[in-house]
């Protein structure tokens, strides 16, 4: 149940990212329709966690920094800032997944975990209680939503 709660929090965070991407594109391109489905392969929990960790690291280390550089070069400072936020958020998420993976590999079984909260501005997911302010986007504590 604890790993499932973490994954629900990360899924909610991805929804925040998708909404942010859509708003940015709409500002640049006007109204449009997005039709997208992501393939999901049911696998062992450990395999899914490893893939989530690897994807988060790729996004935080390579993709979002590159996107931010391009946006900045094109004068799209709002988009560049959001991509930098997303890189930091994905790093935090991959660190959380790595912590869980380490616990499962060394101690066996699920780790004890607190409640999860997600910033509805930048998508940062945190375990425990919401911080006084978001360390990524500086949103107020009230912007953190508890994920069951």
CB contact at 8 A, 118 and 147: yes
- Alpha-helical segments (H) within 30-139: 45-58, 64-73, 77-107
- Determine the pLDDT at residue 33: 65
Strands 144-147 and 125-127 come out as unpaired
pLDDT tens for 59-99 read 999 999 999 999 999 999 999 999 999 999 999 999 999 99
- Each residue of 2-24: pLDDT tens digit? 899 999 999 999 999 888 877 87
Q: What is the pLDDT of residue 65?
A: 97
């Amino acid at each position: 149940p604890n790993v499932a709660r973490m994954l629900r929090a990360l899924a909610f965070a991805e929804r925040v990212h998708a909404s942010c991407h859509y708003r940015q594109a709409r500002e640049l391109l006007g109204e449009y329709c997005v039709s997208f489905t992501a393939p999901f392969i049911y696998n062992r929990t450990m395999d899914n966690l490893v893939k989530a960790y690897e994807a988060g690291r790729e996004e935080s280390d390579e993709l979002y920094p590159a996107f931010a550089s391009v946006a900045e070069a094109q004068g799209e400072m709002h988009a560049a800032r959001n991509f930098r936020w997303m890189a930091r958020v994905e790093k935090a998420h991959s660190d959380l997944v790595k912590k869980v993976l380490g616990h499962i590999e060394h101690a066996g079984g699920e780790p004890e975990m607190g409640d999860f909260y997600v910033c509805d501005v930048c998508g940062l997911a945190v375990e425990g209680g919401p911080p006084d302010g978001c360390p990524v986007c500086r949103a107020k504590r009230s912007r953190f939503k508890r994920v069951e």
